[in-house]
Amino acid sequence: MHIIREREKDTQKRVIEFFQDALNYTYLGNWADNVDENSNIIPEDLADWLRKQNYAPNIINKAVYQLQQASKIGGSRTLYNANFEVYELLRYGVKVQPDVSEQHKTVWLIDWNNPENNDFGIAEEVALRGKNNKRPDLVLYINGIAIGVLELKSAITSVSEGIRQNLANQTETFIEWFFSTVQLVMAGNETEGLRYGVIKTPEKYWLRWKEKLAQLETENNPLLRELSQFCNKERMLEILHDFIVFDAGIKKICRHNQYYGVKAAQERVKSREGGIIWHTQGSGKSLVMVWLAKWILANNPNARVLIITDRIELDEQIEGVFQGVKENIKRTKSGEDLKQVLSDSTNRLACSLIHKFGKSGEIEDTDVDIYVIDLKRNLSGGGRVKGEFFVFVDECHRTQSGILHKAMKELLPNAMLIGFTGTPLLKSDKQQSIETFGKFIDTYKYDEAVHDEVVLDLRYEARDI
Among 221, 242, 263, the domain boundary falls at 242
What DSSP string runs through 99-111? STTS--EEE-SS-
Beta bridge partners of 352: 308
Q: Is residue 125 part of a domain?
A: yes
Domain range for 130 = 2-242
Q: How far apart are CA 243 and CA 262, in angstroms?
A: 9
Same domain for 125 and 267?
no
Same domain for 228 and 340?
no
Q: How far apart are CA 340 and CA 332, in angstroms?
A: 9
Same domain for 71 and 212?
yes
The whole-number pLDDT of residue 353 equals: 85
- Dihedral sign for Cα 270, 274, 279, 282, please: positive
Judging by DSSP bridges, how do beta strands 330-331 and 244-247 pair with one another? unpaired
Q: Is residue 313 part of a domain?
A: yes
Same domain for 87 and 229?
yes
- Give the number of domains in the chain: 2
Please, are residues 170 and 176 in contact by the beta-carbon 8 Å criterion?
A: yes
Among 242, 275, 291, the domain boundary falls at 242
The whole-number pLDDT of residue 404 equals: 59
Same domain for 290 and 192?
no
Q: Is residue 309 part of a domain?
A: yes
Q: Is residue 458 part of a domain?
A: no
The whole-number pLDDT of residue 283 equals: 86
Q: Is residue 457 part of a domain?
A: no
> Can you list the positions of beta strands (E) in 285-421?
303-309, 330-331, 349-353, 388-394, 416-421
Residues of the chain with pLDDT under 70: 1-4, 213-219, 356-383, 396-405, 424-436, 456-465
Which of 351, 433, 442, 439 is closest to 392 using CA atoms?
Answer: 351
The whole-number pLDDT of residue 402 equals: 55
Q: Is 452 strand, coil or helix?
A: coil
Same domain for 122 and 258?
no
Judging by DSSP bridges, how do beta strands 275-279 and 416-421 pair with one another? parallel
The whole-number pLDDT of residue 335 equals: 79
- pTM of the entire structure? 0.90
Beta bridge partners of 158: none
Taking only the tens place, the pLDDT of each residue in 268-296 is 999 999 999 988 888 889 999 999 999 99
Q: How far apart are CA 43 and CA 329, in angstroms?
A: 39
**Using H for helix, E for strand and C for coil, what is the string for 36-100?**
CCCCCECHHHHHHHHHHCCCCHHHHHHHHHHHHHHCCCECCECHHHHHHHHHHHHHHCEEECCCC
In this structure, the dihedral spanned by the alpha carbons of residues 246, 251, 257 and 258, taken in order and rounded to 10 degrees, is 0
Same domain for 267 and 202?
no
The whole-number pLDDT of residue 95 equals: 97
Same domain for 203 and 352?
no
Q: Is residue 207 part of a domain?
A: yes
Find the CATH number of the domain harbouring 391.
3.40.50.300
The angle that helices 233-242 and 79-92 make with each other, rounded to 10 degrees, is 110
Q: Is residue 27 part of a domain?
A: yes
Same domain for 272 and 411?
yes
Q: How far apart are CA 444 and CA 265, in angstroms?
A: 14
The whole-number pLDDT of residue 12 equals: 97
The whole-number pLDDT of residue 41 equals: 99
Same domain for 39 and 89?
yes
For 124, 159, 214, 259, 363, the CA distances from 211, given in Å and listed in that order, are 28, 20, 7, 10, 47
Q: Is residue 249 part of a domain?
A: no
Among 203, 218, 242, the domain boundary falls at 242
Same domain for 138 and 197?
yes
Q: How far apart are CA 434 and CA 200, in angstroms?
A: 41
Same domain for 300 and 404?
yes
Radius of gyration of the chain measured on its C-alpha atoms: 25
